[in-house]
Amino acid sequence: MDFRIELIPLAVRDVDRSVAFYGEGLGWSVDHDQVVSPELRFVQVTPPGSACSICFGVGLDMMPSGSAQFIQVVVEDADAALAYLRDRGVECQGVDDQPWGRFVRFDDPDGNRWALQQLVRRR
């Protein structure tokens, strides 16, 4: 039996700001942005090459208000990921080299934290 993670919710305070950050800032695909009513809006965003999306909006009740996520994503090259983020104006740390991987970290405007990990071969 396969278990595929397909959707991770994020708590955000300003949906339009988050759409701009993930869509325009990071360059990720905004797959859905549906306003059903003033009380219900659903946004789904997918990173390039990912089978898993993130979602946020209004009235979804998936995450407690004020909460934050930590999400780790695997990338092929941490240096290229760092350059990509900096080219897009995303504030991020440099590459953090650890024995278990090379990491680039950034936060979204609502404090959701992201780590981009390049896997390293153990010697």
Is residue 64 a part of any domain in this protein? Answer: yes
> Has residue 66 been placed in a domain?
yes
Residue with tokens 């024995």: 99
Q: Say how many domains are in the chain.
A: 1
Rounded to 5°, angle at Cα 6 from 69 and 44: 70
Q: Which domain holds residue 51?
A: 7-118
Taking all residues of the chain, what is their mean pLDDT, rounded to a whole number? 95
In a domain, 123, yes or no: no
How far apart, in whole angstroms, are the C-alpha atoms of residue 2 and residue 112? 28
In a domain, 42, yes or no: yes
DSSP string, 71-123: EEEEES-HHHHHHHHHHTT--B---EEETTEEEEEEE-TTS-EEEEEE-----
15-72 per-position pLDDT tens digit: 999 999 999 999 999 999 999 999 999 999 999 999 999 999 999 988 888 899 999 9
pTM of the model: 0.91
The CATH number that applies at residue 14 is 3.10.180.10
**CA dist., res. 108 & res. 22, Å (int):** 8
